[in-house]
Structure 1
Amino acid sequence: MPPAVWSRLLPLSVAALLVAALAGCSLPGIADDDPPAPRPVGTGLPEPGRIGAATAEEGKVSLLQKVGGDGPLRTLNVEPDGRWECVDCAGDGVTSTGTLDPEQATRLRGLLADPGLAKETDQARAYQVTCIGSLTSSLLTTVGLITSQDCPGEERPPIANEILLLLTQATPAEITD
């Protein structure tokens, strides 16, 4: 089990990566054709990948949501056993925790294991954020980042949308202004 410090830093690192991706920014000195940085020996950390290939550990999923450029960033992390932690769930700075019921956890594991999910990643769809000021939801899964927005006419990837609905219905998901 990783030290407590790493379990706290990982969601923050994921959030920082997502904010950079949602802002359409690239990180200086990092390009898609750059080789991965060497992994420090003995850290127990997974081999780092490219920025566009960010993934979660097997069976885990993170949901990051933000309204517009200035809205609060809501971060929901769900473990393979269904335990979840939501940081700033309602935009009020509160962190909530809970557990999906067994049926929800089983359903989530099935959706995350669906081979079709790989075709829904931002990379596979060549997805680009197009709306300004709308709710942007990004799922970080083992197959990669999957982003969607609440924009008129935007088609949501079907499997990722089922995951998004399951997570938002099972947790305190609503961002309030």
Structure 2
Amino acid sequence: MLLRAHPRLLLPVLAAVVVGALTGCSLFDRGPRGNPAAQPSASAGGGAQLEIPTTVAVGQVSLIQRLGEDGPLRTLSVERGGAWQCLDCAGDGVTSRGTLAPELTERLQVLLANPALADETDQARRYRSTCIDALTSSLLTSTGLITSQDCPGEERTPVAGEILLLLTQATPAEVKG
């Protein structure tokens, strides 16, 4: 009943619960010396499987997307050198891997190093979701979590919006909404 009274709170809370439940860690879990905790990954079938990240190092980024409450959770992680792994990127349950072109890797690093990114985090903006059943995209950067929804009237953050566009155009992660 409480969730029906505050539907705007449902999606961010649901995303945080899903991320926490799937990883068993908090979003701010840090290892010794403030380094991100290690993320071991192995599937039940014995092959490697991408886990949903809870932290990323400088120069890395993860994109977590979901269309509505019941849509599949797509996760894309990009390393500093441009190598990427995507779990359910096209919504088909397939894990994909690749490497960004050198010029895209360089552009991504410039965007991730932009000091303005700190002003675009959910915490700095006091972000609240505004739509139900919209595509929600969350970028996890070393600066913090940056969430956006693909719905009328929501303004994209300039730097994070450019990162989102770069990632979705250069990988199988497609913005569908």
Structure 1 length-normalised TM: 0.72
In the other structure, the counterpart of 1:149 is 149
The percent identity for this pair of structures is: 60
Partners in 2 of 1:142 and 1:37 — Cα distance?
Answer: 12
TM-superposition CA deviations, 1:111-155 (whole Å, max 9, x none): 000000000000000001111100000000010000000010100
Name structure 1 gaps, 5 residues minimum.
1-18, 28-35, 49-53
Q: Which runs of 4+ in 1 moved over 2 A?
A: 19-22, 24-27, 36-39, 43-48, 174-177
Q: Aligned letter for 1:104?
A: L
In the other structure, the counterpart of 1:75 is 75
Q: Aligned letter for 1:23?
A: L
> What SS class does the counterpart of residue 74 from structure 2 fall into?
strand
Tell me if the contact between 1:89 and 1:175 (Cα under 8 Å) persists in the aligned partners.
no
Partners in 1 of 2:106 and 2:90 — Cα distance?
Answer: 26
- Measured after TM superposition, the shift of residue 62 of structure 1 is 0.1
In the other structure, the counterpart of 2:125 is 125
Partners in 2 of 1:25 and 1:37 — Cα distance?
Answer: 13
In the other structure, the counterpart of 1:170 is 170
Once superposed, what is the RMSD of the aligned Cα atoms? Answer: 2.9
Tell me if the contact between 1:58 and 1:142 (Cα under 8 Å) persists in the aligned partners.
yes
In the other structure, the counterpart of 1:4 is none
Does 1:46 pair with 2:35? Answer: yes
Relative to 1, partners in 2 of residues 1:115 and 1:94: Cα closer, same or farther, differing over 3 Å?
same
> What SS class does the counterpart of residue 167 from structure 2 fall into?
helix
Relative to 1, partners in 2 of residues 1:38 and 1:127: Cα closer, same or farther, differing over 3 Å?
closer
Tell me if the contact between 1:120 and 1:146 (Cα under 8 Å) persists in the aligned partners.
yes
Partners in 1 of 2:83 and 2:60 — Cα distance?
Answer: 10
Q: Aligned letter for 2:125?
A: R
Does 1:93 pair with 2:58? Answer: no
In the other structure, the counterpart of 2:66 is 66
In the other structure, the counterpart of 1:106 is 106
Number of paired residues? 143
Structure 2 length-normalised TM: 0.72
In the other structure, the counterpart of 1:23 is 14
Q: Aligned letter for 1:131?
A: C
TM-superposition CA deviations, 1:66-114 (whole Å, max 9, x none): 0001000000000000000000011110000000000000000000000
- Measured after TM superposition, the shift of residue 65 of structure 1 is 0.3
Relative to 1, partners in 2 of residues 1:22 and 1:65: Cα closer, same or farther, differing over 3 Å?
farther
- Measured after TM superposition, the shift of residue 37 of structure 1 is 8.1
- Measured after TM superposition, the shift of residue 46 of structure 1 is 3.0
Tell me if the contact between 2:65 and 2:74 (Cα under 8 Å) persists in the aligned partners.
yes
Does 1:137 pair with 2:137? Answer: yes
